[in-house]
Amino acid sequence: MVTLFSTKPPDLEIKQYINEIRTIASIDQQINAWHDSQPDPPTPVIINHPIDDTLQTGESSLLGGAMEIKSPWKRE
């Protein structure tokens, strides 16, 4: 059996625990506010090309045309 002894009065420990919980909640609110203030990430540009009959003959034409996915991010 483990018994823990503390030199602090119980009311002081409770106050300290409440302050820690309030601090954590405040930090969580600040983090959520920061995330909400950030702009939405850019969506990628998706291009579906039509089937090219000269390049895609036979059963490969069943796959469809070429597809491109481009990132819209700019290098600064």
Of 46, 71, 49, 45, whose CA–CA distance to 61 is shortest?
A: 49
Q: Which alpha helices (H) appear in 1-76, and where do they start and end?
A: 10-37
The pLDDT of 2-27, averaged and rounded, is 82
Residue type, 54: T
Give the pLDDT band (50/70/90) at residue 2. low
Amino acid 47: pLDDT: 92
* Separation of alpha carbons 61 and 3, rounded Å: 76
Amino acid 8: pLDDT: 76
Query: What would the pLDDT profile of 18-68 be if each residue is shown by its tens digit?
Result: 888 999 999 999 999 999 999 888 888 999 988 888 887 888 788 888 899
Domain boundaries, the chain: 8-38, 41-76
Answer whether residue 76 shows pLDDT above 70: no
